[in-house]
């Protein structure tokens, strides 16, 4: 098992982890914003790591990286469907393990597709952004994910559970969260029916849930953040103590801001959220927000990215913030989607660096090491990027 010191010595190339068979010098030659399709992160067998929209869980000295398996051909948009984006057949949720964040061993599929046409896990459907958390009471691993139809009209949350981190996870089904309950910050005006009042439209049968993440607080309470109301407003919903359901206690945040790809973390007692805009697989500007409570109110902090192509998140889209156990270091994990060949999408990991006012920054670094994360004390923001 690696020690903390080993981890801190571990150095990263911004476009790819130092990966078996790929020299750091080759990677360092990349230009930020360059399409990264030619550059792959490899597992210990030399195969490209296939874990998109994912997360990393640290458990008993090992890091587990979960993500969307994206294999096979990318299908072009179907002009007869309301949603006009590219897609691959759903190939399950893959899992890799590592003790040093550099060498990743493939653990196969943690959640596999199934053949039944009526199943959420049929390959014709969508399983995205899997997030795995460990429940200390039940000692079980719980996977939350975005479940959808191929044209994304279902917008549901799915849950699976396992006794071991590598699975196989047992799928428990999907649902639209928070049916029949108003959010804790609802106003009378919010409850009035009307055009575009998606909260009201979906009150009875549950709220839409697309891009999502799960965040576990220091008190072990877990929350699911999800893009709701036709992706216009994010919801954050408290999970039950076993993490298997939502409680019905939820809040609307970033109202009308059209944010997706939420990635949450805590720093110095405050909650932070990095999100993307809503432009399907195409990169756009990230935004950070901060709050004293998970339920908000959230204050927007502008784009945390700094450096060439920062307005496109360095060609990436947030997927997760990885806290490094035993340190205050945080890693910003992002996907670099290859829209026309999704199986060859890549990854971007950069350290989160805070300024003296605790504003998070994701600063482009060709090469970086964990000892840099969370240590910079430069004032790297201007007031113009604050809402
Ligand atoms: C993005 C989203 C991805 C995927 C994609 C489909 O906006 O973040 O997870 O759903 O749209 O186009």
pTM (2 decimals)? 0.90
372 pLDDT tier (thresholds 50, 70, 90)? low
Asked if residue 211 has its Cβ within 6 Å of ligand 1, the reply is yes
- Tens of pLDDT, residues 299-309: 999 999 999 99
Least confident of 88-97, 156-165, 209-218, 377-386: 377-386
- Cα-based angle 12, 14, 340 (whole degrees, multiple of 5): 130
Query: Looking at ligand 1, which residue's alpha carbon is closest to its atom 7?
Result: 280
Q: How far is CA 122 from CA 88, 90, 116, 119, 127, in A?
A: 12, 7, 6, 5, 9
Asked if residue 33 has its Cβ within 6 Å of ligand 1, the reply is no
**Half-sphere exposure for 142 (CA within 13 Å, toward CB):** 28
CA 129 to ligand 1: nearest atom:
9
**Average per-residue pLDDT for the chain:** 87
Asked if residue 280 has its Cβ within 6 Å of ligand 1, the reply is yes
At 343, is the secondary structure helix, strand, or coil? helix
The mean pLDDT value for 94-98 works out to 96
Please say if the pLDDT value at position 25 is more than 50: no
């Amino acid at each position: 098992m690696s020690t903390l010191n080993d981890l801190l010595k571990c150095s990263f190339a911004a476009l790819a982890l130092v990966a078996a068979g790929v020299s750091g010098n080759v990677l360092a030659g990349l230009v930020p914003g360059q399409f990264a399709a030619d550059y792959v992160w490899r597992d210990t067998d030399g195969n490209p790591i296939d874990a998109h929209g994912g997360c990393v869980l640290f458990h008993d000295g090992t890091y587990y990286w979960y993500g969307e398996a994206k294999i096979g051909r990318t299908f072009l948009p179907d002009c007869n469907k309301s949603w006009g984006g590219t897609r691959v057949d759903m190939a399950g949720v893959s899992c890799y393990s590592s003790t040093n964040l550099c060498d990743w061993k493939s653990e196969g599929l943690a959640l596999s597709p199934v053949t039944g046409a009526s199943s959420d896990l049929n390959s014709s459907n969508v399983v995205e952004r899997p997030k795995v958390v460990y429940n200390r009471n039940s000692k079980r691993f719980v996977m939350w994910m975005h479940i959808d139809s191929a044209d994304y009209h279902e917008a549901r949350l799915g849950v699976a559970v396992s006794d071991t981190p590598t699975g196989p996870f047992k799928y428990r089904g999907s649902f639209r969260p928070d049916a029949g309950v108003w959010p804790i910050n609802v106003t009378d005006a919010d409850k009035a029916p009307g055009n575009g009042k998606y909260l009201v439209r979906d009150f009875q049968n549950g709220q839409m849930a697309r891009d999502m993440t799960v965040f576990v607080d220091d008190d072990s309470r877990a929350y699911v953040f999800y893009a709701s109301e036709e992706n216009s407003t994010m919801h954050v919903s408290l999970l039950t103590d076993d993490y298997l359901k939502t409680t019905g206690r939820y809040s609307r945040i970033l109202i009308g801001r059209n944010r997706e790809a939420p990635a949450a973390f805590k720093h110095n007692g405050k909650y932070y959220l990095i999100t993307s805009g809503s432009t399907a697989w195409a990169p756009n500007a990230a935004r950070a927000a901060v709050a004293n409570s998970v339920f908000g109110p959230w204050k927007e902090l502008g784009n945390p990215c700094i450096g060439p192509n920062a307005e496109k998140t360095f060609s990436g889209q947030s997927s997760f913030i990885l806290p490094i156990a035993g340190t205050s270091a945080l890693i910003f994990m992002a996907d670099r989607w290859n829209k026309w060949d999704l199986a060859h999408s890549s990854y971007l990991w950069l350290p989160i660096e805070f300024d003296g006012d605790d504003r998070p920054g994701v600063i482009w670094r060709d090469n970086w090491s964990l000892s840099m994360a969370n240590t910079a004390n430069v004032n790297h923001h201007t007031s113009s990027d604050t809402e």
